Amino acid sequence: MLTRKQHKLLLFIDSHLKQTGFSPSFDEMKEAMGLRSKSGIHRLISGLEERGFLRRHHHRARALEVIQLPEMAQATPETLPSNVVRADFSRPTAQTLKVPLYGRIAAGLPIEAMADTDSFLDIPMTLVGTGDYYALEVTGDSMIDAGIMDGDYVVIRRTESVENGQIIVALIDDNDVTLKRLRRKGNTIALEPANPNYETRIVPAERLKIQGKLAGLIRRYH
């Protein structure tokens, strides 16, 4: 369920994205919602994100993505509070996308990529947007402070266009592949781990190819 304010804000963001191609500013959302402070907008956005209707791209300014829109259901005042709308989760959340699983990737030390095009991983459609994706199994613990654990499956969006601070798949010397956070420093690239027990690796830019950036993560509990 969504509160009516959450529902109103979600529709406003969706309309603004369709009309302009980018997210509304916090001032625009505050004005549209009739709120006095931005903190109220932050709370509404967090609520929509927790419920799977909205995704924030934290490394980009004004970057909100509408994952799905709720369907209004019939409800009487006796069955539904006046400040709540009911959402139908039955359609997009049930859909999955098959992405190729290309072996294992070290999150500790670079290893050679092991492509296995016969293996696929089913992931929820709500986890990804448009684009081409593949998955890798993580080995090692160098990214644990970023919430990436040994045995996790990372979903990677194929792209060479990434921003500083994003977690990427890097191909070094056309041989070694690793999952690290990227920092550009002049003509070199720093591959930063998310574990103080590992050192940052500095690589000349011409020796490194970006194979994609982190789009999602799948974890299985046994």
5 classed as catalytic? no
Interatomic CA distance for residues 155 and 212, integer angstroms:
10
Instruction: Determine the residue type at 6.
Output: Q
- Give the rounded distance of the alpha carbon of 195 from its chain centre: 21
Contact (CB, 8 A) for 218 and 170: no
142 classed as catalytic? yes
Q: Is 177 exposed, middle or buried (0-12, 13-18, 19+ CB in 10 A)?
A: buried
Which is the catalytic residue, given 5, 23, 180, 213? 180
Which is the catalytic residue, given 142, 161, 185, 213? 142
Interatomic CA distance for residues 162 and 101, integer angstroms:
22
**Tokens standing for residue 60:** 């980009």
DSSP 109: S
The catalytic residue positions are 142, 180
